[in-house]
């Protein structure tokens, strides 16, 4: 199993480009199932989750041109296999995103209940409830969701809980339903707007994406289109935290400052100087960071996907901070690993109390989920001595060429078997 070996102590300095957003690319690729024509997607990041999704779409009958490049063309002229098998979806919860499009286009779908990061129970009841309201008959048997509907119809759906992929799934399904669908208490994440832009370019009629009420007028069919995936706000934030923690000075290109307001506020509070232009962000950190309290919540509040990275920053900051995780019930697994690096953290329920110490110690640690892995990389970059991170396949699910980008910024990091 591959590992990362990091020699801590080098401040990050230099310039890198940010990749396309994993969480925007995944639903956009699934949108190809909604049309017989070709959907061309640009700025697709090279990640394991993307490869898994492309394999899944391929085995359903989608023809994919240049699946290993950043520009992917998908043609789902005929769908031959309306199944997402357990073996393919167990590592990636986002596979649930094929449910809505398959059902809307082909009238049937058999989807294994998803796996993914072990950060909580993560049920899919809201996806199912919404599709049932649109006329689908759904049964769960032998670990699979079996859904049928001759033609979905519009409905008013009020989510009990804000769900990102739930909103995306129902938005995609509603594009081909008869009549109007109104999604209330919808997620407002920028990735939802990106998907809506792609679907509208394909001929859908969606209004309100980015707000908590989304209205979709169903159309008889969608057509081919070209779409460029938005920049990855979580990758952007991760590098900014790493630069803050190491007292670095970095320029991030091909990103978008407007996607990160809550994160930038916290970095500024920690003491970083930040300036930005249309598609770049410059961060410089001259002093020891101050600890910052964090409470995760749906967009536009502070993202759960940045919580672990700020935990590492707080470990070496001045003062004591509380990080409260409100989205997932088991998302503090990195605490145990950070403690192996001498961090001073106490967990109480869904909150972690972090007392900053002058220096973390390099240690042998294990990545437990995608963003927890990123927190260990940041901890390794600031620690004294060598840190070895095991199980980095989690990292490869969500960060394109992370060691290449960190090396370009002066980090001492290498991958080993
Ligand atoms: C997406 C992101 C993930 C991010 C998360 C929260 C993708 C591919 N992944 O995950 O990186 O951490 O949003 O910002 O975009 N829930 C239910 N019932 C449902 C659906 C969700 O109870 O039917 C609960 C979940 O257990 C969780 C909360 O709602 O506690 C939010 O989950 P959700 O927004 O659905 O997360 P994902 O879409 O899986």
Residues 268-327: tens digit of each pLDDT: 999 999 999 999 999 999 999 999 999 999 999 999 999 999 999 999 999 999 999 999
Place of tokens 């519009």: 154
Q: What is the dihedral of CA 191, 192, 195, 197, to 10 degrees?
A: -100
Q: What digits encode the pLDDT tens for the residues 143-173?
A: 899 999 999 999 999 999 999 999 999 999 9
Residue 53 near residue 95 (C-beta atoms within 8 A):
yes
Half-sphere exposure of 397 (CA within 13 A, CB side): 25
Residue 296 near ligand 1, beta carbon < 6 Å? no
- Of the candidates 310, 315, 316, 313, the residue with the CA atom closest to the CA atom of residue 331: 310
Q: What digits encode the pLDDT tens for the residues 96-113?
A: 999 999 999 999 999 998
Instruction: Please give the structure tokens belonging to residue 360.
Output: 């973390």
Q: What residues have CB less than 8 Å from 393, skipping those under 6 apart?
A: 1, 2, 48
Residue 126 near ligand 1, beta carbon < 6 Å? yes
Q: What residues have CB less than 8 Å from 230, skipping those under 6 apart?
A: 20, 21, 24, 43, 190, 191, 194, 256, 259
Q: What digits encode the pLDDT tens for the residues 28-84?
A: 999 999 999 999 999 999 999 999 999 999 999 999 998 778 999 999 999 999 999
Q: What residues have CB less than 8 Å from 185, skipping those under 6 apart?
A: 158, 159, 160, 161, 162, 212
Q: What residues have CB less than 8 Å from 127, skipping those under 6 apart?
A: 96, 99, 100, 163, 165, 166, 169, 170
Q: Determine the distance separating the centroid of ligand 1 and the alpha carbon of 161, expressed in angstroms.
A: 9
- Of the candidates 153, 156, 166, 157, the residue with the CA atom closest to the CA atom of residue 125: 166
CA distance 32 to 68: 17
Pocket probe for ligand 1: among 23, 122, 187, 328, the residue whose CB has the most ligand atoms within 8 Å is: 122
Q: Is the pLDDT of residue 118 over 60?
A: no
Ligand 1 atom with the smallest distance to the CA of 234 is 11
Q: Determine the distance separating the centroid of ligand 1 and the alpha carbon of 373, expressed in angstroms.
A: 19
Q: What residues have CB less than 8 Å from 75, skipping those under 6 apart?
A: 32, 36, 37, 38, 39, 62, 63, 64, 65
- pLDDT band for position 116 (cuts 50, 70, 90): very low
CA distance 27 to 39: 13
CA distance 318 to 195: 40
CA distance 274 to 184: 35
Q: Determine the distance separating the centroid of ligand 1 and the alpha carbon of 74, expressed in angstroms.
A: 26
């Amino acid at each position: 199993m591959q590992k990362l070996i990091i020699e801590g102590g080098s401040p990050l300095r230099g310039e890198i480009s940010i990749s396309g957003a994993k969480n925007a690319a995944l639903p956009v690729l699934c949108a190809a199932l909604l049309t017989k024509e070709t959907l061309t997607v640009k700025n697709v990041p090279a990640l394991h989750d993307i490869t898994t999704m492309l394999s899944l779409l391929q085995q359903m009958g989608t023809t994919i041109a240049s699946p290993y490049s950043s520009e992917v063309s998908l043609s789902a002229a005929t769908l031959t296999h309306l199944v997402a098998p357990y073996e393919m979806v167990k590592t990636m919860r986002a596979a649930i995103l094929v449910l809505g499009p398959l059902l809307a286009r082909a009238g049937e779908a058999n989807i294994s209940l998803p796996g993914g990061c072990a950060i909580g129970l993560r049920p899919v009841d809201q996806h199912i409830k919404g599709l049932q309201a649109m006329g689908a008959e759904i049964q769960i048997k032998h670990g699979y969701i079996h859904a049928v509907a001759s033609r979905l119809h519009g409905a008013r759906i009020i989510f009990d809980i804000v769900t990102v992929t739930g909103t995306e799934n129902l938005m995609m399904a509603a594009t081909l339903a008869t009549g109007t669908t109104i999604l209330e208490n919808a997620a407002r994440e920028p990735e939802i707007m990106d998907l809506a832009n792609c679907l509208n370019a394909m001929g859908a009629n969606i209004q309100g994406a980015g707000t908590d009420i989304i209205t979709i007028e169903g159309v008889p069919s969608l057509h081919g289109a070209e779409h460029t995936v938005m920049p990855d706000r979580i990758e952007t934030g991760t590098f900014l935290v790493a630069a803050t923690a190491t007292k670095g000075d970095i320029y991030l290109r091909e990103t978008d400052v407007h996607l990160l307001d809550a994160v930038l506020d916290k970095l500024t509070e920690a003491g970083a100087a930040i300036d930005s232009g249309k598609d770049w962000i410059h961060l410089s950190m001259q002093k020891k960071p101050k600890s910052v309290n964090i409470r995760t919540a749906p967009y536009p509040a502070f993202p759960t996907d940045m919580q672990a990275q700020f935990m590492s920053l707080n470990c070496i900051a001045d003062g004591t901070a509380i990080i409260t995780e409100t989205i997932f019930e088991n998302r503090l697994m990195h605490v145990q690993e950070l403690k192996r690096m001498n961090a001073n953290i106490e967990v109480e329920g869904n909150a972690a109390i972090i007392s900053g110490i002058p220096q973390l110690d390099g240690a042998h640690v294990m990545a437990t989920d995608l963003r927890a892995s990123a927190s260990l990389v940041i901890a390794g970059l600031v620690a004294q001595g060598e840190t070895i991170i095991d199980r980095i396949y989690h990292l490869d699910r969500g960060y394109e060429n992370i060691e290449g980008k960190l090396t370009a910024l002066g980090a001492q990091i290498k991958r080993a078997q």
